[in-house]
Structure 1
């Protein structure tokens, strides 16, 4: 794919934040994840095309207790399902809305696995959240997931929200969708949302990005990331949209000059830490405002453990503060620490 021309906008410094840790609870969660999730991911990486029952992950998550402070209503988008999450005490939620995109490597997870995280954002941001159950591999291309994301954004606009009242939030593969979908809005004739917030975003769906050696992430083994990239390419060679081969888009190679303010959170031991750091630098070079938060000792997608670790709680509070700051009247006081240095 031909690289998009870089914007000639004046570069802006990236606001960098360093958060200490890990706490004892975080260490325990990291150890438990290393012994369970990471080993399962290693097994999956041996042969992703084997027909693993990845859909069972989200089905099993139905057994998790539903957040007591949030009401969930089903929504039907043109090609997929979604759910509308609102805090029970504030059913109108007219101030702002969040378009939420779950992670899972484009092959697993869904509404059930990420309902708790999306509900926390609804509560902490005083927002309504549209949690999108976008189409996934192997049956649908990643471009179909981007289309579902844009459909979710249209749904929010049709529901009466202005673009300046909407934030797009995604974790891991959902972070990739957050960037690619917002970049595609102009082509669809839609206005840009007020903000993007991502956690451990995948920003380069190719093996070209240099990531640090080692396998220290407690959740995501390097073998699984390599296998996911190969599987993506395998599926896309097989899938055609409108009779044409589907190309993978890398946000790192797109013109980022039209992005709204961005907040990126990565763990210090996150296998995708480099993805977030490189993306932040490129956003700054494109002249757009960006925050980069690095959480020492944390694994990939650690805010998904928000009810288990204080770092997850704090990260979601930071994201919620960022959302409220850019989509309406700001919060009563800043929660984020002083930047450690400017880019």
Structure 2
């Protein structure tokens, strides 16, 4: 007869957590940032869907187009990857961005914005805005551009919109965020209430990443660093997806509440049992569902008419 352990099913989420822990276990206080970035890129390398890849300099920012075969060339999603402003790249998030491109039928421009500690705030934000200028310089109308991003990239979705608004630039059609990190003060109740449920992201780590991004004298309450505290008036429609197990859950739920109070058209999706940026793991069934929902949101606001089933 089998042991009791045999009766405990290993779920796709469990396997995803083990993938993450295997990376973190290899890091010590002596591991360089360059090694961390390399390990992260290697762990998530590859692309599981058939999209064309085209390298590009997006206004001086290293970028990559991910283009489905029948995508209209006059519409685009500008994608900002996650990684706490410290790690992450086009390579580590290629599969996630490509699955969004494939499911939405829209070309995606993914960028390598500058990372801290070499390039602190607002370097990443400046690069995000530069990439938006690039798309407009290519002849795309703001109404034909959407922003999307995960974690720190979700922060940039908001911060870039706020920067564009405050500079008098026309705003993109919409913004889609997965597990957005919007509060660098880590003040949400979920940092305590979800601490045991979240397998990776604890408050001390979040605060260390914030300090790495801002520098020791940086202001964690700056609305361009912590867009949760910004005046959100006038932003376009937003989609916010978050897992219920996340310590950063309240970064998403409070953002949605504040956006709604500011009169923004916002949809909040809280996914039961899901971890931070669970969409990165195609083996998780809910990841496929979430990307399908996110793709439908993008198609709706970019007016892409044809339907596509995610791979």
Deviations 1:130-156 (A, max 9, x none): 001111111011311111111111111
The correspondence for 2:64, drawn from 83, 100, 104, is 83
Instruction: Give deviations 1:286-315, integer Å, cap 9, x for gaps.
Output: 011100011111111011112x12211110
Q: Given the superposition, is the C-alpha separation of residues 234 and 167 from structure 1 closer, same or farther in structure 2, using an over 3 Å criterion?
A: closer
Change (3 A) 1:210 1:43: farther
What residue is the counterpart of 1:337 in the other structure?
none
SS in 1 for 2:93: helix
Is the Cα contact below 8 Å between 1:192 and 1:260 reproduced in 2? yes
Contact 2:49 2:99 in 1 (8 A): no
Q: Deviation at 1:219?
A: 4.4
Which residue does 2:300 correspond to in 1?
325
Q: How does 1:199-218 map to 2 (within 5 A)?
A: 199-211=178-190, 212-218=192-198
| Higher RCO, 1 vs 2 (CA within 8 Å, ≥6 residues apart) | 1
CA distance in 2, matches of 1:237, 1:329: 42
For 1:213 and 1:42, locate their aligned partners in 2 and report how far apart those are by CA, in whole Å.
25
Match in the other structure for 2:173? 194
Match status 1:139 vs 2:118: yes
Distance 2:215 2:286 in 1: 40
Deviations 1:162-210 (A, max 9, x none): 1111110010111011111111002333210000000011110113333
SS at match of 2:241: strand
Q: Could you tell me which of 51, 60, 79 is aligned with 1:70?
A: 51
Check the 8 A contact 1:58/1:112 in 2, yes or no: no
* Residue 155 of structure 1 pairs with residue 138 of structure 2: no
Number of residue pairs the alignment of both structures matches: 298
Q: Which residue of 2 aligns with 1:7?
A: none
For normalisation by structure 1, the TM-score amounts to: 0.78
* SS of alignment partner, residue 264 of structure 2: coil
CA distance in 2, matches of 1:51, 1:257: 41
Matches within 5 A, 1:1-343: 28-38=11-21, 40-41=23-24, 51-52=32-33, 53-61=35-43, 64-87=45-68, 89-90=69-70, 93-94=72-73, 96-211=75-190, 212-222=192-202, 225-234=203-212, 236-237=214-215, 249-306=225-282, 308-330=283-305
Could you list the per-position Cα deviations for residues 55-100 of structure 1 after superposition, in whole angstroms to 9, with x for gaps in the alignment?
21354258x433451011111134531101101x22x623521000
Per the normalisation by structure 2, the TM-score is 0.85
1:318 is displaced (CA, Å) by 0.2
Q: d(CA) in 2 for partners of 1:95 and 1:108?
A: 31
Distance 1:235 1:131 in 2: 20
Q: For the aligned residues, what is the CA RMSD?
A: 2.9
Distance 1:158 1:209 in 2: 39
Runs of at least 5 residues in structure 2 that lack an aligned partner in the other structure: 1-8
158 and 123 in structure 1: CA distance in 2 versus 1, 3 angstrom threshold? same
Provide the secondary structure at the position in 1 that maps to 2:193: coil
> Residue 11 of structure 2 aligns to a residue in which SS?
helix
Superposed displacement of residue 252, structure 1: 1.4
Partner Cα separation in structure 1 for residue 254 and residue 26 of structure 2: 29
Helix, strand or coil at the partner of 2:276: coil
Instruction: Using the TM superposition, give the Cα deviation of residue 238 of structure 1 relative to its aligned residue in structure 2, in angstroms.
Output: 5.9
